[in-house]
Amino acid sequence: MAAIAEAAKFAVGERVRVRRSDPPGHLRTPWYCRGHVGTIERICGAFANPEELAYNRSGLPAQPLYRVRFRSVDLWQDYRGNAADVVEIEIFQHWLEPA
Amino acid sequence: MGGLPAGHCERDEHDYELWEKRVDALMMLLSAKDRDLLKVDELRRNIEDLGARAYDAMGYYERWMHAITQTLIQRGVLTIDEIGRKLAEIEAKSDGGDR
């Protein structure tokens, strides 16, 4: 975990929306979850931002990383599996906003 | 990739060729903390920058080799002329069959 870290804005159980954004570069936020609402399942720690590391920059201050839980039926309108199925995705704080 | 349709997935372990092991070793040596000549995030960005057509046409370690080369150019570790001359030297020595 990096020494200089941004403070965590979200708590476990809080609902968050993934920002709809498509800048160039190396993005670790999957396309299919952008714009969707999920729930904070856990805070994984804080890590240097990989979008900046990808260009050999420091990525500091470290960004809190959350595991966010989405309902599969929310991500895919045509989802035919169990309605209780969920997908958990690790997403950096700067991609999240309150829902 | 990214939830797109894909072909058959080979699930059996297979042997690696010598050149593939060398690419793996090169990646480990370059990314070692005390050298820091390449970050895994840079490797991933350069693989993504291949574009879909080249990504599909290349094998796993071919993508790594391409991305390692790109990173070393971007970092100023190797010049393009150095790479060109070395490649020509190797091609001249090679009988075309041995990698």
ipTM of predicted assembly, 2 dp: 0.81
According to the model, what pLDDT value does residue B45 have?
96
Asked if residue B17 has pLDDT above 60, the reply is yes
In a domain, A1, yes or no: no
Whole-number Å distance between alpha carbons of A80 and A73: 8
- Please choose, from the candidates A13, A44, A32, A29, the residue with its C-alpha nearest in 3D space to the C-alpha of residue A79: A32
- Residue A68 CB-density burial (10 A; 0-12 exposed, 13-18 middle, 19+ buried): buried
In a domain, A7, yes or no: no
Partners of residue B41 in chain A, C-beta under 8 Å: 26, 50, 53-54
Asked if residue A36 has pLDDT above 60, the reply is yes
pLDDT > 70: what percent of chain B? 92
Number of helical H runs and strand E runs in chain B: 5, 0
In a domain, A2, yes or no: no
Domain ranges (residues) in chain B? 18-93
Decide which of 1.10.10.10, 3.40.50.300, 2.40.50.140, 1.10.472.20 is the CATH code for B18-93. 1.10.472.20
Q: What is the CATH number of the domain that holds A46?
A: 2.30.30.50
Following CA atoms B76, B79, B82, B86 in sequence, which dihedral angle do they give, to the nearest 10 degrees? 70
Contact A62, A48 (CB under 8 A): yes
Chain A interface includes B44 (CB < 8 A) = yes
In a domain, A5, yes or no: no
In a domain, A9, yes or no: no
Chain A interface includes B75 (CB < 8 A) = yes
- Torsions phi, psi of A52, nearest 5? -85, -40
User: Residue range A89-99: average pLDDT?
Assistant: 98
- Average pLDDT score, chain B: 91
- Residue B20 CB-density burial (10 A; 0-12 exposed, 13-18 middle, 19+ buried): middle
Asked if residue B98 has pLDDT above 70, the reply is no
Total of domains in chain A: 1
B39 and A31: CB-CB below 8 Å? no
A53 and B75: CB-CB below 8 Å? no
User: Residue range A29-56: average pLDDT?
Assistant: 97
In a domain, A69, yes or no: yes
Q: In the sheet where A63-71 sits, what is the strand order? A: A86-92, A63-71, A37-47, A15-18, A96-98
pLDDT interval class at B96 (50, 70, 90): low
Asked if residue B97 has pLDDT above 60, the reply is no
Asked if residue B25 has pLDDT above 90, the reply is yes
Q: Which helix (H) or strand (E) holds A36?
A: none
What pTM was estimated for this model as a whole? 0.86
Q: Give the residue numbers spanning the domain of A36.
A: 15-98
- Please choose, from the candidates B69, B49, B50, the residue with its C-alpha nearest in 3D space to the C-alpha of residue A54: B49
